[in-house]
Chains A and B, each alone.
Chain A
Amino acid sequence: MIQTIKLVYSNPKYFLLASGIFVLMTIGLLILSEYIFLEPYVVAHLPSGSELGFILIVTLSALSALVIPMNIFRIKTLKSSKQKMGGGILGSIIGNAAGVCSCGPIGFAVISTFGSVGATATAFLTNYEIPIRIIAIVILAVTYFTTVKSLKVECNLNS
């Protein structure tokens, strides 16, 4: 497993890509989930009771940053099919959608645009924020292990 990670991330391009995904996703989700505020001052805030949400955001971002570059490596270097890339993207999208659609500007825009349908959707995403993020993490973890397995097999076959 460590060898596979070394194989991918020894290339600085993939290391940079992973770092970029992690930083952008973490900061973006922390802003959308109101752990970081940009106005009127830049301030980070972790209210009591929301520690689990914070940990899930960091885990989700870390797994996305790990899985997505590995799948891009697989597709580009080993010319594999793009099908298995779906798990990483799906996990990231599901994880991103959860929680950001609550009382904030995105939820307000969705409800203003789509009315009661939007309200029902945002209520679902808000009420089940934690379970949805956990499902997204499970999807990403499964994708990670299948990608590592697939890289091991494909690299052995190609070498």
Chain B
Amino acid sequence: MNKKGVILGVIVVAIVVGIVASYSSAPSETVNLDMGRTHGTISTAMGSPILGDPSAPITIVEFGDYQCEQCYAWFHNTKPAIVQNYIDTGKVNLVFVDLAFLGRDSPKAAQASYCAEDQGMYWEYHNILYNSQESVDSGWANSERLKAFAFSLDLDMTLFESCLDSEKYSKRVQYNIQQARDNGVKGTPGFFIVGPNEQQKIGGAQPFSVFKTILDSMI
């Protein structure tokens, strides 16, 4: 009976120690993800925070890669007009979902954006990446540069480095890539404009006039 008691005790202690160890080794960053967040047919739960008014009736879901030059073109040529005319006016909001496929640095850059989100700086970091884009895998988005971008935003470097080095958001990025595949996205940038009753797909860095026509028809 005593022998059984000792074994049981050891098992209980082992379980308690295991639970305590797992909690203590978890990263100290906290993530507030709404796991049920969807826009149309797309699960955006693992995507970016919402840019603009979360209660806006229309959402633009952008699938992009930080190394994609067409995404860079859309970011600089089309997005500013959309932000000014639709997002800042509360008519539309935007969610960015990673389709990080172009090169070895693409997934790392996407993970880094979520490490910045941990410190409330997702969109600032996102903008820095698209403003700093160079050739694919030329080193502009390697770990050192990603950390340098974080430093330039005055992020807590201990938290950021532990997040990036531990690949904390690797599965989040993979989930987003799978969402793109599940929704038939075959290149970047790819867009879904999700309105109250319909959703419209747009492929490529199309001009503002195309977005305007679709958005105006949904408002």
Contacts from A to B (Cβ < 8 Å): 34, 37, 39-41, 43, 45, 47-50, 102-105, 107-109, 111-112, 116, 119, 122-123, 126-127
Contacts and interface: CB of A to CB of B under 8 A. Distances in A.
Given A47-B73, A123-B103, A126-B69, A40 B202 contact: yes
Interface string B53-77: 0000000000001001111010001
B101 A111 contact: yes
B203 interface: yes
Contact of B206 (A43, A102, A105, A123): A43
B137 interface: yes
B68 A119 contact: no
Given A40-B210, A104-B204, A122 B77 contact: no
B110 to A, nearest CB: 14
A105 B71 contact: no
Given A45-B207, A123-B102, 7 more contacts: A40-B214, A47-B205, A47-B207, A49-B73, A104-B204, A112-B101, A126-B102
B70 A104 contact: yes
B135 interface: yes
B145 interface: no
B187 A108 contact: yes
A39 B187 CA distance: 14
A102 B68 contact: yes
A126 to B, nearest CB: 6
B171 interface: no
